[in-house]
């Protein structure tokens, strides 16, 4: 016999999620009371894992209840119904999907980390672009007014023009990268996961 927490650990699910499944589908999860605790047979672990797999496939609660009713012999008050029909084995695809769930969770967490890193990189580029655009605009205004106090010689003016051109090129690269679809690729990638 297993406690709710032990069932959760065996099914690799949070305890609260497991408790919710056990309560919601209690007719398929026979239990007995021992010291004010519900105790479950070992077979309940597979039922809980099946419920999780069916939720992950997008089935609703009633659809899952119907699937369990087809696949499992229901019980009443922790007593097996007399002469229940044979419990069919779960489809191999379901068992395989359930076995892959921990790996899928791991991959999703890793992809979420990559998405956050990409968002931070895009934000940093945006900040840099805004700063460069502000500098360029300020230099252009100074040049247009003829108030370049920092420009001492023609050499300084050429150097400053080179800096402006370099900053302009960098802004163009950032904008081109954005136009190439950085955001579209990110959205498409997010939609695939």
CB 132 within 8 A of CB 167: yes
Q: What pLDDT is stored for residue 76 in this prediction?
A: 46
> Using CA of residue 125, residue 127, residue 131, residue 134, what is the dihedral sign?
positive
Q: What pLDDT is stored for residue 173 in this prediction?
A: 81
Q: What pLDDT is stored for residue 183 in this prediction?
A: 64
Buried b (16+ CB within 10 A) or exposed e, 7-38: bbebbebeeeebbebbeebeebbbbeeeeeeb
Q: Is the pTM of this model over 0.75?
A: no
**Regions in the chain scoring below 50 on pLDDT:** 74, 76-78, 80, 151
**CATH code at 4-90:** 1.10.1660.10
Q: What pLDDT is stored for residue 149 in this prediction?
A: 54
> What residue ranges do the domains of the chain occupy?
4-90, 103-192
Chain-wide mean pLDDT for the chain? 80
Q: What pLDDT is stored for residue 193 in this prediction?
A: 60
In the three-class reduction of DSSP (H, G, I as helix; E, B as strand; rest coil), residue 38 is classed as strand
């Amino acid at each position: 016999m297993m406690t709710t927490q032990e069932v959760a650990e065996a099914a690799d699910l949070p305890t609260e999620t497991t408790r919710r499944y056990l309560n919601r589908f209690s007719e398929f999860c026979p239990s007995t009371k021992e010291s004010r605790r519900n105790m479950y047979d070992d077979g309940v672990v597979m039922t809980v894992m099946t419920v999780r797999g069916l939720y992950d496939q997008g089935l609703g609660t009633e659809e899952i209840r119907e699937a369990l009713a087809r696949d499992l012999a229901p019980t009443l008050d922790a007593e097996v119904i007399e002469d229940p029909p044979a419990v069919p084995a779960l489809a191999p695809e379901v068992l395989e999907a359930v076995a892959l769930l921990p790996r899928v969770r791991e991959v999703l967490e890793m992809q979420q980390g990559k998405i956050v890193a990409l968002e931070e990189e895009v934000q940093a580029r945006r900040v840099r672009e805004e700063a460069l655009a502000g500098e360029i605009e300020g230099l252009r205004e100074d040049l247009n007014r003829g108030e370049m106090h920092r420009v001492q010689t023609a050499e300084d003016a050429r150097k400053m023009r080179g800096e402006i051109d370099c900053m302009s090129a960098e802004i163009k690269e950032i904008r081109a990268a954005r136009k190439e679809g950085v955001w579209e690729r990110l959205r498409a990638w997010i939609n695939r996961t």
